[in-house]
Amino acid sequence: MQNIHFYQNHLDQVSRSFAFCIPQLPTPLRQWISLSYLLCRVLDTIEDSTWENRATQKNQYLKFCSFLSSPPQKAETLHWATEFPSTTCLAERKLLADAYFLFQDLNELPQEARNLIQTSIQKMERGMQHYSYRSQESVLRLVDLTDVHRYCYFVAGVVGELLSGLFLIYRPSFRPSSDFQLNGLHFGLFLQKINLLKDQHSDELEKRFLVPDRKALLCSLRKNAQGALNYLLCLPQEESGYRIFCGWSLFLGVASLPWISQAYDAPGEVKNIKIPRSVTQTLLESVQDIAHSNELLKKGFDELLPPFLHEKAPTLKPSPLNSRQSHQSNPEDWFSRLLEGTLGLTEMIQLEMV
């Protein structure tokens, strides 16, 4: 496998928010999760790039999946990377140019970890393709919270599943509670909803209407945040690195909500309001200090929750049939088909995906 500096260099370029958390993880979990994240980032680049036509994008998806299943030749991946639009940012182009090493490293992992990563990313790819197909004239519109939850599952909930699975492989002696995997899904949904709220304005400028009702989405965060906290509290206390890794993401997400709301409500010219670095640094230090204590984590979490997360969600009017039929003419068929049996009906109900 590539050394950790290879992974960290790319992480620093494509995701600073993830990059600063990852060094907390122990070996080999750090390498497994770094590789998984970068592969997901490559997939995300296929989804987000501005393609001249859908056929070219679909071909890039297909090639990516074939590379996951069977390690490609270096020349093949380099040619594949040149097929991306010239508008792809420099950091992502560098990652694409090194994609060969990612696929090779995946093939060298222990079989259980390799199979889990392949299965998870292939499921993410199927979901992304579905939503790419739903885009009409480059416009993607999610129509209700069920739609949001399904979208968030494919782009982030799957990551929560993957991280939980990798942790269980890393520590086979760990016997978690029965809702451990479900709470990992809540964790992924929570972080992705934070991103949707933070990026709503810029997403809509790019014709990506991913927040059908902002207040309803905010209210729905409370359940996901609590699930994420339960996930953190379930982790072995001696696994300080993974607890800090998860705690930083959860607490920063919760702490950023008032700033995200303030930025959204601000006039257009001042929408770049962000949580101050000094506040972030203080919070990170605090979480690191209390990561070993479930009692202190609970207390800190409750103190950090903004008041609006305690509000009752509004009752939404049913979406008009013509806006829903693209994804709900036979909703269970397409969603269940993409899941391929990896998520049960009970979990889908609890996550409000049906």
What is the average per-residue pLDDT within 137-156?
91
CA 350 to chain centroid, in Å, comes to: 19
Burial class of residue 313 (count of CB atoms within 10 Å of its CB; 0-12, 13-18, 19+)? middle
DSSP character at residue 176: -
Return d(Cα 125, Cα 64) in angstroms, integer: 9
Q: Is the pLDDT of residue 148 over 80?
A: yes
Q: Is the pLDDT of residue 320 over 70?
A: no
CA 278 to chain centroid, in Å, comes to: 26
pLDDT (tens digit, 9 = 90+) per residue, 70-95? 989 999 999 999 999 999 999 999 99
The confidence score (pLDDT) of residue 308 equals: 72
Q: Is the pLDDT of residue 256 over 60?
A: yes
pLDDT (tens digit, 9 = 90+) per residue, 26-38? 999 999 999 999 9
The confidence score (pLDDT) of residue 50 equals: 86
Contacts for 70 with CB less than 8 Å, ≥ 6 apart? none
The confidence score (pLDDT) of residue 337 equals: 80
In degrees and rounded to multiples of 5, residue 135 shows phi and psi of -65, 125
The confidence score (pLDDT) of residue 317 equals: 53
- Comparing 330 with 125, the larger pLDDT belongs to 125
Three-state secondary structure call for residue 164: helix
The confidence score (pLDDT) of residue 322 equals: 37
Return d(Cα 35, Cα 206) in angstroms, integer: 29
- In the chain, DSSP finds a helix count (H) and a strand count (E) of 19, 2
The confidence score (pLDDT) of residue 23 equals: 95
Q: What is the mean pLDDT of the chain?
A: 90
Return d(Cα 291, Cα 287) in angstroms, integer: 6
What H or E segment, with its residue span, contains residue 158? helix 158-170
Per-residue tokens: 248? 């930083």
Query: Looking at the whole model, is its pTM more than 0.85?
Result: yes
Q: How far apart are the first and last CA of the chain?
A: 41
Return d(Cα 104, Cα 97) in angstroms, integer: 13
What is the average per-residue pLDDT within 147-161?
95
The confidence score (pLDDT) of residue 268 equals: 66
Return d(Cα 61, Cα 52) in angstroms, integer: 15
**29-48 vs 158-170: helix axis angle to the nearest 10?**
160
Return d(Cα 79, Cα 256) in angstroms, integer: 41
- Comparing 285 with 53, the larger pLDDT belongs to 285
Whether the Cβ atoms of residue 1 and residue 31 lie closer than 8 Å to each other: yes
The residues that bridge with 140 in the sheet, in sequence order, are 208
- Comparing 178 with 321, the larger pLDDT belongs to 178
- Comparing 238 with 267, the larger pLDDT belongs to 238
CA 261 to chain centroid, in Å, comes to: 21
Return d(Cα 99, Cα 314) in angstroms, integer: 45
Instruction: Pick left, alpha or beta for residue 352 (phi over 0 → left; psi -120 to 50 → alpha; otherwise beta).
Output: left
The confidence score (pLDDT) of residue 323 equals: 42
pLDDT band per the 50, 70, 90 thresholds, residue 325: very low
Per-residue tokens: 268? 């257009």
What is the average per-residue pLDDT within 196-203?
93
